[in-house]
Chains A and B, each alone.
Chain A
């Protein structure tokens, strides 16, 4: 009975595999979240560009006279 522990196999040293496993399990979701961050930034930039283009379009439409808009009155000649 006293010799039983000597006959049993020692627990193997598998720390490196555990660390590798956890590095992957933690690293992969972090990479995934990073991809979200990049995608979100890209979409926000697109949104800003669209907003700027829309504003530009609006201001151009305001400045460009349409055929229906009233014509400016002729200036009186000085002669």
Chain B
């Protein structure tokens, strides 16, 4: 793979600096939460990774729709890359949430509406990856994956709204005043600043990862094309 272009290198550098700054804010700026203790600091990576997983699957749906319209292979590459990165963020969210849940709820896992809908969403996108691997024809694969990516995105708003629609013990970060939200907790200003900064850092991380993953996929495509040409000769 050719060396990353200058803007991409700068983006990667900015992302690394932002991630380090985020860790500084999490451990040295944000105050200790008195009820839960140090484990509450997981919140600053748990929430952004969950939000970015939603964004990643949103990118897949948008690129899927655009692919069906414009038929550009690049859009399918971006959609696939976004699902892969979204799944990494999803696993990060599930694992960090589970580790946070044990001292907070006294259990690693509970079939709470948010946890259940989020797991279903994750499985839907695991199935997206499996669907792609099961189809050999690139055009057919891209078409099917695009349609699946659009339909699969229905799970995202359901997951997001689950803590507002049903009674749940999961904290509601935005709109915690909802009556059904039992797990709400108040945040001080430094906590809000740290969370917002963490979100910014994770947005940069997502974009950096997406660009690098797309470049890797392009290299893969090139190798496949050359292989096909060699076999045809």
- Chain A, residues 19-62, CB within 8 Å of chain B (1/0): the string is 01110110011001000100110011011001001100100000
Contact A44 B1 (CB under 8 A): yes
What secondary structure prevails in chain B residues at the interface with A? helix
Is B96's beta carbon under 8 Å from chain A? yes
Closest to B213 in A: A36
Is A68's beta carbon under 8 Å from chain B? no
Known contacts A12-B37, A39-B216, A40-B216; A21 and B99 CB within 8 A of each other: yes
What secondary structure prevails in chain A residues at the interface with B? helix
Is A79's beta carbon under 8 Å from chain B? no
Contact A11 B35 (CB under 8 A): yes
Contact A18 B38 (CB under 8 A): yes
Contact B39 A50 (CB under 8 A): no
Is A14's beta carbon under 8 Å from chain B? yes
Task: Count residues of chain A with CB under 8 A from any CB of chain B.
Answer: 26
Known contacts A11-B35, A17-B100; A24 and B95 CB within 8 A of each other: yes
Is B223's beta carbon under 8 Å from chain A? yes
Contact A29 B99 (CB under 8 A): no
In whole Å, how far is B37's beta carbon from the nearest beta carbon of chain A?
4
Contact B230 A53 (CB under 8 A): yes
Known contacts A28-B88, A46-B223; A12 and B103 CB within 8 A of each other: yes
In whole Å, how far is A28's beta carbon from the nearest beta carbon of chain B?
6
On chain A, the residues within 8 Å of B53 by CB distance are: none
In whole Å, how far is A35's beta carbon from the nearest beta carbon of chain B?
10
Contact A11 B100 (CB under 8 A): no
Could you jot down 12 A-B contacts, CB within 8 Å? Answer: A14-B40, A15-B37, A17-B100, A18-B42, A21-B42, A21-B45, A21-B100, A25-B95, A29-B88, A46-B227, A53-B230, A57-B233
**Nearest 8 Cβ contacts at the A-B interface:** A14-B39, A14-B37, A21-B42, A21-B99, A17-B39, A18-B38, A14-B103, A12-B37
Known pairs A21-B46, A24-B95; list 10 more (Cβ under 8 Å). A11-B37, A12-B36, A15-B38, A20-B99, A21-B99, A22-B42, A24-B99, A25-B45, A39-B216, A40-B1
